[in-house]
Structure 1
Amino acid sequence: MSGTESSDYTQRLARLESSGIKRLLPTQAPYRWNLKRLALGRVLDVGCGIGRNLLNCGPESVGVDHNATSVATCRERGLTAYTPDELARAEDCGPGSFDSLLCAHVLEHMDEELGNSILAQYLPLVKPGGSVVLICPQEAGYKTDATHVRFVDFDGLRAHAEKAGLTVERTYSFPFARSVGKAFPYNEFILVARTPAA
């Protein structure tokens, strides 16, 4: 996770959120729609950053991030977010207390072993039979961030799901067809899975 723990990284996320065409057009609208149609209920947003996705999750949802500055930014936005140590102490965030886990634009920042470890750490907080959504950027998006260390495609997401004991329900490219991801930096690989039922 080299470089993602600094306040500079938080500032970069904030700049990107309102730069260029994003100042003029509702570029996040398709991604908001996609999250809402998944009907994820109370979400644990792992690697929540400054809350871009958390803003579009259910009102009782919670973010966790290792960057304390990003967590503070989420709180300034009225969101509930914790560092890992704070989450471990939060009374309403124990085992099985979330309907789903979202891990968006996180796994590409770490090696496979650490990615598996992060998922293993937080999956017990999701109720049996709950949803898990893993999202990573496609080629053009991967190249836009120097803190990306590993390209994670559909096969990579499935490998993480298998290691975590999840049942994959579907994978899809969003918002455009897979071929667009080589040129369009905001195309994503998305995997939707379920935790084992009780």
Structure 2
Amino acid sequence: MVEHNQPRRSHGELTKGQEYADRLVDLQQVWWKRVLPVQAAYRWNIRRLGLGRVLDVGCGLGRTLRQLDGNGVGVDHNPMFVEHCRSTGLTAYTTDEWPQAPEAVPGSFDGMILSHVVEHIEPDVADAMLRTYLPFVRPGGRVHFITPQERGYASDPTHIHFTDFAALERLARRHGLVVERSFSFPFPRSAGRAFVYNEFNVLARKP
């Protein structure tokens, strides 16, 4: 059962510290994730969208950035994540560093990705995030939202807002984005209650 009404928590309370960064690093190093090509399908999903030069907001350890073949820049509020990204050759900035970054040029990105971000924050924080970073996407550029379905949502105690297709579409439209496509990946929507890595995907365009 997914709990939709957990108590409000401040932005960054659960995902900004060293403990959370260490937890994600440990999960990434699980033997079967290193041996099996588990990211192949997700890499295909990102690349097929043809988003161009991408701003990855909430880039974490750089999993999505690595799929962009050097055509992306990340930003995250956790400095440990940013340090990890840089140590692997990726370009990333903390939220404090971003305003002074040379890449922080309005309209200079073809797309933006928020992958596994919105479920960690309150709706008003998600709105503030879009107001902050959407100006860096050019008119006609696209924004790709990814959030976990039921089983994935329940797997992480730092998830505080279950965000399905309808919630993502409302978020996009509140900021003037035109929803182009909503789809479940990698399996049909029915798999979301059993498979941890089934995801809601919503692709929207900036007019």
Contact 1:10-1:69 within 8 A present in 2 as well: yes
* Aligned mate of 2:17, from 6, 17, 39: 6
Runs of 4 or more consecutive aligned structure 1 residues displaced over 3 Å after TM superposition: none
Within 5 Å, which residues of 2 pair with 1:1-198? Answer: 1-196=12-207
Cα offset for 1:91? 2.0
Cα offset for 1:58? 4.2
Q: Secondary structure at the match of 1:116?
A: helix
Equivalent AA in structure 2 for residue 72 of structure 1 = E
Contact 1:161-1:193 within 8 A present in 2 as well: yes
- 2:159 and 2:98 map into 1 onto residues whose CA distance is 25
Q: Secondary structure at the match of 2:104?
A: coil
How many matched pairs?
196
Q: Secondary structure at the match of 2:170?
A: helix
Q: Secondary structure at the match of 1:41?
A: coil
Supply the RMSD in Å over aligned alpha carbons. 1.0
- 2:163 and 2:179 map into 1 onto residues whose CA distance is 16
Cα offset for 1:20? 4.7
Query: Could you say which residue in structure 1 is the equivalent of 2:4?
Result: none
Equivalent AA in structure 2 for residue 86 of structure 1 = E
- 1:103 and 1:125 map into 2 onto residues whose CA distance is 14
TM-score w.r.t. structure 1 length?
Answer: 0.96
Equivalent AA in structure 2 for residue 172 of structure 1 = F
Contact 1:42-1:58 within 8 A present in 2 as well: no
TM-score w.r.t. structure 2 length?
Answer: 0.92
Flag structure 1 segments of 5+ consecutive residues without an equivalent: none
